[in-house]
Chain A
Amino acid sequence: MKKIFLFIGAILFSILFHKQGVGLNLSIFSFITLILLVIFNKSAFKQKSTLAYSVLYLITAITVFIYNNSLSIIANFVAFFTLVGQVSEQNSSIYINWINGLYTIVAGYFHRNFNINETKQKVISNKDIDYLHLIKIIGIPLALIIVFICLYKNGNPMFNELVNKIDFSFINFQWLLVAICGYYLLNNICKPVIIEPTTTLDINTGNYLSKKGEINIGDLKKEHQFGFILISALNLLIILFLITDITYLLTSNDLRASTFSNQVHSSIYTLIASIVIAIIIILYFFRGNLNFYSKNRSLKTLAYLWITLNSILIVNILIKDFQYIYYFGFTYKRIGVLIYLLLTVIGLITTFIKVKNVMNFWYLFRINSLTTFTILVTCATVNWDGCITIYNLNYAKSMDFKYLIRLSNNNVFTLINYLDDHNLDNYKNSVIRRKYKRYLKELNAKSWQEIQFDNFKIK
């Protein structure tokens, strides 16, 4: 039964992907893989978390069909191996799901076939097929026949003619190879595997810190003193930086794009360094028994203050980025800055929770990986090219028109609608129409496997 499903899946895989671009095929493939996963792993799909990952996977599959851009394809791949990893082990963290999922997709078959029975110390082969014998009875005669055909070909012109008439062109070998790849992939994922001992270690690692050995008050006092001085100095420094930065922001009247760009980007680099160092230092001091030291309140307060000051730094950059967007419109880089700031705020909030609730490093890693994954999937559902185009054309004080033309084809219909409603100069008119025509030609040339949502708009 399993083999029939896999066989049908492999044929569909080759029909969908052999010599095709990405489009409807990836969405259909996502549905096929989900169906196969459900059929072979029913118990895993009784868990709500697995269902949630399935929904996210389907969302990314739909976004591939609608937008067909790199972000949606990447999100679909990540959601795919996250789901496969989740099916393999439902209680592990998301980063373990990623590793397990990737491993299953890449080498699940090899892992399952290397199934050692520890008591007997022998490899249990899942199949009783003597491959060596098969090679002997098929491979060697075949190889020898080919060699002799080559020899006889040169010795007899009639035989040569006969051999040359043999034509296998009706068989598409590449199509068959793609089907074999599909079979291998589907066979790998139908019974997901886990990496040991990594998975067990992750399941057994909780989110909370516990006391390590005996508490040495003397050592803790020295560490507390060191932390207090260091974080106090860093707090003072960040306050000084914020004062000067806010003063500059309020007094500067320079509205050149290059000035804004330099300010935002240098602030981002500062922020990256500041936040990373802040989290590392906080993790270092709150890694062990200092969490359980009765007089650690002042150090905790300083850590909270530092987190707050870093948050103010984020707000400061957010204002700069919004100003930049207000005057010069959206670009992918400016949106990237906003997403980075969102991730940073979440990172700081989780660090605050870590210190407050005496949690460990793995808590931070788990929650932040999950957040990153959620944001990736959410971002994939947005037509960024369309958003950028709508905002820049309608609301930005000034903008780079060529930038809009350079964006992917997801903004073509927005541009053409804008052109219909507004009187644009000849240059803009011709450039938009050229992009539109090129896109229509591209859409019309697509095979059924490659079609996307925009194909239905033009019919």
Chain B
Amino acid sequence: MNVPITIIKATGLSLIIFWTIAITEDFSLDMIPLVLLSVIPISICCSLTICLTIAPFFWSKKGKRNLETVYNSYFPFYAIALFGLCVFSTIESNFNTYGIAFNTSAFFTALKTWSWLAEPKKIK
């Protein structure tokens, strides 16, 4: 479980998902600096989400053998609750493209982050 590396991966994934959806509405090459600048808020969001809502589940159970147990015990309920929140937030944003982009990227990044954090070191 490597939190800093996971935050970097999550930022990258989130950035890709967010802008893939956002540019379907409108895209011009002038938006490139905006895309690059968006790395800062996205990384802050990812760091806060991971450190406050995902990593504590793993920190509370130390030891490699517990990774799977933590994942199986908490991930399903986290996924369901997050899905509910994202759907609610999307409806509240009145299905605005940026709202959909934000919620979709938050949802998929958070779920993938669980896999990254729970993944024990691969034996080669």
Contacts and interface: CB of A to CB of B under 8 A. Distances in A.
Given A116-B68, A123-B122, A146-B29, A103 B80 contact: yes
Interface in B99-124: 111-112, 114-115, 118-120, 122-123
Given A121-B64, A122-B120, A150-B29, A111 B24 contact: no
A116 B70 CA distance: 13
A196 interface: yes
B83 interface: yes
A398 interface: no
A121 B120 CA distance: 7
A198 B77 CA distance: 11
Interface string A105-126: 0110011011010101111000
B21 A177 contact: yes
Most buried by A among B12, B16, B111: B111
A150 B68 CA distance: 46
Contact of B75 (A102, A107, A135, A146): A107
B57 interface: no
B79 A110 contact: yes
Contacts of A195: 72, 76-77
Contacts of A177: 20-21, 24
B85 to A, nearest CB: 12
Interface size class of chain A, counting residues whose CB lies under 8 Å from the partner chain? 20 to 34
A173 B23 contact: yes
Interface string A241-267: 000000000000000000000000000
Contacts of B79: 103, 106-107, 110
A236 interface: no
A99 B75 CA distance: 13
> Is chain B's binding surface mostly helix, strand, loop or mixed?
helix
A174 interface: yes
Interface size class of chain B, counting residues whose CB lies under 8 Å from the partner chain? 20 to 34
Contact of A110 (B24, B111, B122): B111
B71 interface: yes
B37 interface: no
Nearest to B114: A110
> Is chain A's binding surface mostly helix, strand, loop or mixed?
helix
Interface string B27-45: 0010010000000000000
A113 B115 contact: yes
A110 B21 CA distance: 21
Contacts of B67: 116
A163 B24 CA distance: 18
Given A106-B83, A153-B29, A114 B24 contact: no
A147 B72 CA distance: 42
A277 interface: no
Contacts of B83: 102, 106-107
A149 interface: yes
B95 to A, nearest CB: 11
B122 A99 contact: no
A102 B24 contact: no
Nearest to B30: A150
B115 A122 contact: no
Contact of B76 (A103, A135, A146): A103
Nearest to B87: A106
Contacts of A111: 75-76
A139 B12 CA distance: 11
Contacts of A106: 79-80, 83
Contacts of B115: 110, 113-114, 123
A123 B119 contact: yes
A106 to B, nearest CB: 4
Nearest to A107: B79
A195 to B, nearest CB: 4
Contacts of B123: 120-122
B28 to A, nearest CB: 9
A198 B25 CA distance: 42
A107 B29 contact: no
Contacts of B76: 99, 103, 107, 111, 195, 198
Interface in B5-24: 12, 16, 20-21, 23-24
A159 to B, nearest CB: 12
A49 B12 CA distance: 45
Interface in A14-57: none
Contacts of A174: 24-25
Interface of B: 12, 16, 20-21, 23-25, 29, 32, 64-65, 67-68, 71-73, 75-77, 79-80, 83, 111-112, 114-115, 118-120, 122-123
In the A-B complex, the 9 residue pairs with the closest CB atoms: A173-B24, A107-B79, A195-B76, A106-B83, A174-B24, A103-B76, A116-B68, A110-B111, A122-B123
Given A110-B111, A116-B68, A177-B21, 10 more contacts: A103-B80, A106-B83, A111-B76, A114-B115, A116-B67, A123-B115, A123-B120, A149-B29, A174-B24, A174-B25
7 contacts: A110-B114, A111-B76, A118-B68, A120-B123, A123-B119, A177-B21, A197-B73
